Amino acid sequence: MRWTCPQCDREFARARQSHVCVPGCTVDETFADHPAGQRAAYDAVVEHLRREGPVHEDAVRIGVFLKSEGKIAELRPKARGLTLLLFLAREVDDVRIRRRETTAQGRVMHTLRLLDAADVDDVVRAWLSEAYAAADA
């Protein structure tokens, strides 16, 4: 069962989970001032993840955090494209990966850029499925 912070009304995996208490918003508000291709890429990501199981969308001004039991991914609209931060149990070597960083939980955060839904190809979908599984491990 998820916990809802009484101050910001956002949902988290654990009661009193540490977080930056900022007000949430809607996914539409997050993408309102960004190119339609970024929203289409976001929708393709969420559509794929929902095939894996339940997905909680935690929208804030800077982006959307996608969670199941744990964090699966973050999507942040930017001027040059939609930044996808993907949390995997292993390091991936691919030209699309712009940066890798190991998290405190031992997972590897991979950063890549999506311009539209076509960028969410079979390889990215496989990584998303892997990230979903890692979030529940």
Delimit the domains of the chain by residue range. Answer: 23-135
Report how far residue 73's alpha carbon sits from residue 107's, in angstroms, rounded to the nearest whole number. Answer: 12
User: Domain 23-135 maps to which CATH number in 3.90.1150, 1.10.3470, 1.20.1050, 1.10.1410?
Assistant: 3.90.1150
pLDDT at 83: 98
Q: Cα-Cα-Cα-Cα dihedral of 117, 70, 107, 126, to 10°?
A: -30
Least confident segment among 33-42, 73-82, 92-101, 102-111: 102-111
Is residue 32 predicted with pLDDT exceeding 80? yes
Q: Which residues does residue 66 pair with via DSSP β-bridges, in sequence order?
A: 57, 73
Q: Which residue, chain included where needed, has tokens 């996608």?
A: 66
pLDDT at 18: 59
Q: Cα-Cα-Cα-Cα dihedral of 74, 22, 62, 55, to 10°?
A: 30
- Whether the pTM exceeds 0.95: the reply is no
67, amino acid identity: K
Report how far residue 60's alpha carbon sits from residue 125's, in angstroms, rounded to the nearest whole number. Answer: 24
